[in-house]
Homo-oligomer: A and B are copies of this chain.
């Protein structure tokens, strides 16, 4: 099963994009700050997401990334697939040749599980996540924290508790 930090980061970043998709493209530096993901790592991920047609990019000042489709038409599984993590828990990748060219004893079991996971992640769109109360709460917290960091960076004297 390939579902690691990489895939989770990609989904998190795409969700951040969906949340902040109002008008202007979102630069990766902002996502990096809000989500605590290193900028260069995000660049790697978005390179793939763009090649897979999930996001559009805009260069230059004021540039950044945008969702290529409405959030309601992007399922979580699309993001994970784009990032090259397939949701298959079989050893053979579904080839049924796990044991010397023949299926192993538990081949079907892992196939069934893979299908379960795939269906589940297909059934959830970014839009649905955006609408969740818990997601909105976390996003609000992240936005305010980011704001305080901006103030701090600007050299304001006011003391906003940043990470306590």
| A interface residue numbers (CB < 8 A to B) | 1, 3-5, 8, 11-12, 15-16, 35-36, 76, 89, 91, 99-100, 102-110, 112-113, 116-117, 120-121, 124, 129, 132, 134-135, 138-139, 141-142, 163
Contacts and interface: CB of A to CB of B under 8 A. Distances in A.
Contact of A99 (B11, B36, B89, B103): B36
The complex is assembled from copies of this chain, and their number is 2
Given A100-B163, A117-B116, A117-B117, A106 B11 contact: yes
A142 to B, nearest CB: 7
B1 A91 contact: no
A30 to B, nearest CB: 13
A36 B142 contact: no
A14 to B, nearest CB: 9
A104 B11 CA distance: 11
Contacts of A4: 1
A73 B104 CA distance: 23
A110 B134 CA distance: 13
